[in-house]
Amino acid sequence: MTAMPQTPTVLHAPVIDWFDEHARDLPWRRPEAGPWGVMVSEFMLQQTPVSRVLPVYEQWLARWPRPADLAAEPPGEAVRAWGRLGYPRRALRLHGAAAAITERHGGEVPRDHAKLLALPGVGEYTAAAVASFAYGQRHAVLDTNVRRVFARAVSGAQYPPNATTAAERKLARTLLPEEEPVAARWAAATMELGALVCTARTPSCARCPIAGRCAWKAAGSPAHDGPPRRGQTYAGTDRQVRGKLLAVLREAVGPVPQSALDAVWEEPVQRARALDGLVADGLVEPLADGTYRLPLT
């Protein structure tokens, strides 16, 4: 059961005041980033830490300052520029989003949440984040940081559920400040609080602006009880093989022979399955002569 705060607004001022003082100076938060910069950052930050995104973000925006600039290049160039950020399908989707923005929205990142949501690679979180951070709109922005902050401060649990629940969305809407600019500030502030203070492993409650109102802390910071949180195995999986295969193609200038791909993984069945998967995903293009390259279309 989720406990409703008696007066939701009491959290707003301390969290936003804390954000005013402690917010990181990130490039996508600067005014010159614009909606496109915000969108690029949101794609890159999906499951990838800020520190690793920073250099790639700068290169990306310098090379493709507008959606149309990216849309004008082959998707394989986006995959190559993605580097080692991980989950390279995001690069493909960002390229697809840029193409859709160019074709359907006159080259401007749409302001409307529903239109954002219709873009490839843009889900509930990213649509709300772009609408809120880039356009100052009032949306519940529920990422892993915000979910953890609310789980602790309001629900009294160490961790949120594995999958986002309807109760969490309702709570987020309940806590959202009424005024649009305040709501946008709140969204960024709660995310930052989760990223810097209310961290997953060892939260710094001594530095938390709402520690005095935290339900989890008040309960004695009880350990997580429910089902174990989903772990991520990696070694020996298809994902690892796909990563090795794509790394070869990223670093190659032109098409690579089958033999170069065969060299990265011993086991032929899994290797073939991984390569087929990359082709099916549009990350790799097989050529008639038996070589492979990053996609030109």
- Contacts to DNA by CB under 7 A: 26, 28-29, 41-42, 45-52, 84-89, 93, 120-127, 129, 143-145, 148, 162-163, 165, 191-192, 194-195, 199-202, 228-232, 234, 237-240, 242-244, 246-247, 277-278, 283
Rounded to the nearest whole angstrom, what is the least distance from the CB of residue 92 to DNA in the complex? 9
2 versus 240: smaller Cβ distance to DNA: 240
User: Which of 151, 150, 193, 144 has its CA nearest to residue 20?
Assistant: 193
User: Which residue, 42 or 77, has its beta carbon nearer to DNA?
Assistant: 42
Q: Which is nearer to DNA, 228 or 289 (CB)?
A: 228
List, as one string, the DSSP characters of the chain: -PPPPSSGGGGHHHHHHHHHHH----GGGSGGGHHHHHHHHHHHTTTS-HHHHHHHHHHHHHH-SSHHHHHTS-HHHHHHHHTTSS-THHHHHHHHHHHHHHHHSTTS----HHHHHTSTT--HHHHHHHHHHTT--------HHHHHHHIIIII--SS--SS--HHHHHHHHHHS-SSHHHHHHHHHHHHHHHHHTS-SSS--GGG-TTGGG-HHHHTT-PPP-SSPPPP---TTSHHHHHHHHHHHHHH-SS-B-HHHHHTT-S-HHHHHHHHHHHHHTTS-EE-TTS-EES---
Residue 227 Cβ, how far from DNA at the closest point, in Å?
Answer: 9
**Residue closer to DNA, measured from CB, 99 or 195:** 195
Comparison of 41 and 102: residue with beta carbon closer to DNA: 41
Minimum Å gap between C-beta 230 and DNA is 7
- Catalytic residues, by residue number, are 42
What is the rounded distance in angstroms from the CA atom of residue 254 to the CA atom of residue 294? 9
Minimum separation from the CB atom of position 238 to DNA (A): 4
Report, in Å, the least distance between residue 212 CB and DNA. Answer: 23
